[in-house]
Every structure is written in structure tokens, then in C-alpha cells.
Structure 1
Amino acid sequence: MTDQSDAARHAAHAYVDLLERRDWSGLAALLTDDVVYEMPQTRERVRGRDAFLRFNTEYPGDWHLRPRRVIADGRLAALLLDVRVGVEQQDACVWLEMSAQGLISKIIDYWPEPYDPPPGREHLVERW
């Protein structure tokens, strides 16, 4: 395993832990200024660290994340997550791309089913 893979694996675990704890300043320190977050099922994209943090602080519900599997290869990491919102449970796959400086530069969340995005976040996302 390479040092880059170790760094990507560590960043992936930290990413989930910081989201779960709602540690926004800690999460900000893991992200590039121009991080891109995409959700293919809703065709939404959020650009920039500030918008990504705001997206998460405004996200509705009492959601919780637990990593079930993390795989890292070079500057890439993949996570299989157990996601819970109230009593509802879903699996999600998250792909992370790391910058040369070891920060997360791209996040892609894959959810099990396509869905229409909830209203109220149009000011943060672009649809494709």
C-alpha cells in the first residue's frame, strides 16, 4: 500500500467521522477550497467548500453515517456507508478524490434509487 493510499484511507474515515459529529471546522480542513460534490441520482452538483459545508449544515433530518467498508488506491477512496435517517436505513457509496496536497477535492455520493431533490437547496446546487 502506498503512502497516498494510506492518506486517502485516513481522509475517508475522517470525512465520515467529522460529518457524523457535525464537526464543520474539522471537515472544512479536509476539503480543497474548490471541492466539488455530486449526486448523480438527483443530478445535483455543489461547488466550493463553503457551499458544501452549508449544504450539510442545512440538510434536513437526524441523519447518521457509519462506514462499512473503505477501499483506497492512490489518491482515490471508496466508501460503503450505512446511512440512517430516523428509522430509515439505506446503503450509500461515496467516491473521494484527493488533491496532490492530500485534501478531498471531489466527492460523489451514489444512493440506491434515483429521486427528485427536496426543495430549498436550489441556491446551492446546479442540476445536470
Structure 2
Amino acid sequence: MSVPGSRVRAVSDTALTRQAAQDYVDRLERRDWPGLAGLLADDVTYEMPQTRERIRGREAFLRFNIEYPGDWHLRVRRLVADGGSAALWLDVRVGDERQDACVWLEVSEGGLISRVIDHWPEPYDPPPGREHLVERW
């Protein structure tokens, strides 16, 4: 059974999610912290499964990125969105080192990012100096 208008809404949600995902990477790359804040839900959750770290809340997530060391750069290799979910394959560069990252985003109906999960190629211990921002699990 098809619900009238449901396809239109799903396409609209997908377009909103896709734009939020692209804006997320663009604002991180430009270090546009106020612009990034405008994309995030107040209670956004950021997780890094390899280090088992979780950051809760917009302010802590912004601070984490502002304080992140090195001259890092992001470029979208692939972005796929469906409804309120997006997957990003990123080319990440820190100095001369290059890595791939896979990022999953959950976007609310209002277009705000509510959850970010960053997957890196291999598990690693977190670097010191950010214990005040994260909880380990």
C-alpha cells in the first residue's frame, strides 16, 4: 500500500540530508565553527568506534574540532543519502599523511545533524589531551 505524498517527502528528506552532509564537510574544512554549530543539534552525539570515544553535545563537539591538532583537510570522495541518513567516504589529509574515513550522519527532520559516527581504517589508542571532552566505552 502506498501513502500519497510519501515518496515526495522521502525525496525531500534525502535532499535535506545530502545538503547537511555536504555542508558538514565544507564547514569543517573551512574551519567555519559558527557555520558548523548551525548544522548541529544541541544534543549531537559524535562517536569514534576504533578508540571507543563518545562526545555528547554541540559545544563539546565544536571544541573537539577546534582543538584537533595538525593541519588536517577533508575532501568528499563519495556521499550517499537516504531519508535522514548519509554516508560519506572522505579523503583525509594531515600534513603529508593521507587516510580514508567513513562517516555516517543522522539528520533530524529539521535538518540538524543529531549523530556522527567516524570510522577510521584501523583501531588506535586515542592521543592524550582530550580526556576532558570524551568518555570511553
Report the TM-score when normalising by structure 2: 0.92
Amino acid at match of 2:17: A
User: Distance in 2 between the 1:127 and 1:100 partners?
Assistant: 29
| Residue 35 (structure 1) aligned with residue 5 (structure 2) | no
CA distance in 2, matches of 1:100, 1:15: 16
2:66 maps to 1:57: yes
1:110 to 112, 119, 136: 119
Number of corresponding residues: 128
1:101 to 96, 107, 110: 110
Larger Rg: 2
| 2:87 aligned residue | 78
Partner SS state of residue 106, structure 2: strand
1:125 to 106, 128, 134: 134
Q: Which one-letter code corresponds to 1:84 in the other structure? A: R
Measured after TM superposition, the shift of residue 101 of structure 1 is: 1.1
Post-superposition shift, 1:54?
Answer: 0.1
Moved over 6 A (4+): none
Give, in whole Å, the separation in 1 of the partners of 2:111 and 2:34: 17
Establish whether residue 18 from structure 1 lines up as the match of residue 27 from structure 2.
Answer: yes
Q: Any unmatched runs of 5+ in structure 2?
A: 1-9
Determine which of 4, 26, 32 is the counterpart of 2:13: 4
Cα distance in structure 2, aligned partners of 1:106 and 1:115 = 22
Give the gaps of 5 or more residues in structure 1: none
User: Percent identity among equivalent residues?
Assistant: 74
Instruction: State how far apart, in whole Å, the 2-side matches of 1:93 and 1:54 are.
Output: 21
TM-score (norm 1): 0.99
